[in-house]
Chain A
Amino acid sequence: MTKKVVLHVLAIGFALYLVVPFYWIVNLSFMHEVDAASVPPHFLPDNPTPANYLGFVNPSTDQALVGSNAVGDTPYALLNSLVVAFSTAVVNLVLGTFAAYSFSRIQFRGSQLLLIVYLLTRMVPGIAIIIPFYLVMRTLDLLDTYGALILSYTTFALPITIWILKDYFRTVPRELEDAARVDRCGWFRMMWTVFLPISAPGLVAAAIFSFMTAWNEFMFALFMTSSISSQTIPVIAANFATDLNTQVTLMAAAGVLAVVPPLVLVLICQRLIVQGMAAGSVKG
């Protein structure tokens, strides 16, 4: 009985811990700036208003000044983030599938070492490669383009993608490939029509992982971008925060918008994510 009580108290405590901070910025995002600055604070918006969200589409004159045009930039930044994150996921799946297939199906010399090397590259802090990366991108004339960001995020996400996929591919029965081989299917056709459809859950988990990596990343975006033609939402959100005369309500609304796409994705696919990530990490 006491165990039940303790369990429920803990569960409620954790639920509040997880939700209340986010609730606070959602709450702020529907307030007028005057109410947000009032003492004591309002834990519910007195006169809820969509003005902050509408401002992103059609900013009023005082909104436009916040965070060096961060308000007007927000919709474009969201679009940039979507394009970059989606492309990163696709590039990762293509590169990752080839590599992961080799680890799941072929016994080859150096396979263990290669996997460890992939993993080690993930342990190199981004800050350690950012300067040469910047110089390389400058040479390739890719600064302030989607290309620089997609390439950066691919290197971040690829090792994990390979690990998630190789574990999932190992669960696909070999008999299916043998059957396809009997039917004289080529390797690419076999992959496309048999192997990859069966591996869909693993592919989705890996894709979401890459998407989130790209969506959340800030440091490389800060270095590689300089205009709204490629700035992603974390960069613009940081502009709200570093402006001393910022409007808290607008900043909160931008923050909420930045959370929505990954949150929706994660909630829709939560079962897959937990399975996909768990398979790899628990086995080591």
Chain B
Amino acid sequence: MTITAVDTGKPRSGTEQRPRRTMGDTARAYLLNAPAMIVIGLLVAYPIGYSFWLSLHRYNLKLPALERFVWFQNYLSLIGDPAFLSSLRVTVAFVVVVLGLTVILGTALALVLNETFLGRGVLRSLVLLPWAMPGVVNGLMWRTIFDAKTGALNGLLLQLGLIDSYQAWLTSPTGAFLITAFAQVWNTLPFTVIILLAGLSTIPSEQYDAAKVDRAGVVQRFTQVTLPWLLHPLLIVLILETMNAFRAFDTIYVLTGGGPGDATNVIAVLNVRTVLTYTDFGLGSAYSWVITIVTLVISIGYISTLYQRGRIEV
């Protein structure tokens, strides 16, 4: 038996008293949307088109004389560009690790918060703490913790006798990569927990009672009752966190700056360096377009999954 969350969805107010659809209504609706559409059109749609146009040019702000139309040359150069390929690998690995950790930790924390225990209210407030922290501050916070000489982690582990000598966590490529992923997860976890918690709160308690009558164990109750209800919120989490992880920048920029070497040089960091340091707007735009297309393809995949499950309501 599959249980869909939409069954309990509130009926759309006004479904019964749906007014006739007239031309006047449509005109009025678009009039109301006009300000938002103008802002979004001017500041998102136009820049996207323009950035595609730029990506077909050789355009370096420092070398204006060399500007010219080069068709897809910037894109072709990406195929053999080691910086781009390595950053693509790092980005994909980063997204996978961050998503995995976020889903596991987020689900566990949401399940804990869904139970009743002393101090639940306190824990619920604490969950919001990482959310209130700007990514830049998150980055500098973890830097002080993982610092090789003065960091809290080395001190703590040494005092507990778990390590013999101070470790330089951020200078090993693998260490730096895992630490940036860990820091990113800490920062974005609250959002995941809030969404999952809201999903959990929609599960009718009768279903758990029924499962108990059937003598279902904890694991069975989770897989048979909880998980089907959580699938929809989990998909939402996957959409939002994939976007977030693909564009991760703030924390990494401050924590490692893309290093050591290019171990944490995700595509957003590479892109910003190409644009800000080398002022190569043409190549930078080509990078941006690749990120845009990848994220759009992934989000369209997610959204069509939602649609097929018949659970999207707009």
**Chain A: residues with CB nearer than 8 A to chain B?**
3-4, 7-8, 10-11, 14-15, 17-19, 21-22, 24-25, 28, 36-41, 43, 94-96, 98-99, 101-103, 105-112, 114-116, 118, 120-121, 123-133, 135-136, 151-152, 154-155, 158-159, 162, 170-171, 173-174, 212, 215-216, 218-219, 222-223, 233-235, 237-238, 240-242, 248, 251-252, 255, 258-259, 262-263, 265-267, 270, 273-274, 277-278, 281-284
Contact = CB atoms under 8 A, between A and B. Distances in A.
Given A22-B141, A24-B145, A174 B13 contact: yes
Contacts of B249: 127, 218-219
Interface size class of B (residues with CB under 8 A): 35 or more
B151 interface: yes
A158 B243 contact: no
A118 B137 CA distance: 30
Nearest to A96: B36
A125 B247 contact: yes
Given A101-B32, A107-B18, A242-B257, A170 B243 contact: no
Given A25-B144, A127-B272, A284-B306, A234 B135 contact: yes
Given A234-B134, A266-B128, A255 B140 contact: yes
Contacts of B14: 105, 170, 174
Q: Specify which of A124, A151, A216, A252 lies most central, judged by the most chain B CB atoms within 10 Å of its CB.
A: A124
Given A112-B314, A218-B136, A278-B198, A106 B28 contact: yes
- Nearest first, the 4 closest Cβ-Cβ pairs linking A and B are A278-B198, A132-B47, A41-B155, A108-B29
Interface of A is mostly: helix
Interface string B143-154: 111010111101
7 contacts: A7-B112, A10-B112, A101-B32, A102-B32, A212-B132, A259-B133, A273-B128
Interface of B is mostly: helix
Interface of B: 5, 9-10, 12-14, 17-19, 21, 25-26, 28-30, 32-33, 35-37, 39-40, 43-48, 50-51, 54, 108-109, 112, 115, 117, 119-120, 122-137, 139-145, 147, 149-152, 154-156, 158-159, 166, 186, 194-195, 197-199, 201-202, 218, 232-233, 236, 243, 246-247, 249-250, 253-254, 257, 268, 271-272, 275-276, 281, 284-285, 287-289, 291-292, 295-296, 299, 303, 306, 311-314
A283 B313 contact: yes
B134 A128 contact: no
Contact of A37 (B123, B135, B150): B150
Given A125-B243, A241-B254, A284-B311, A24 B141 contact: yes
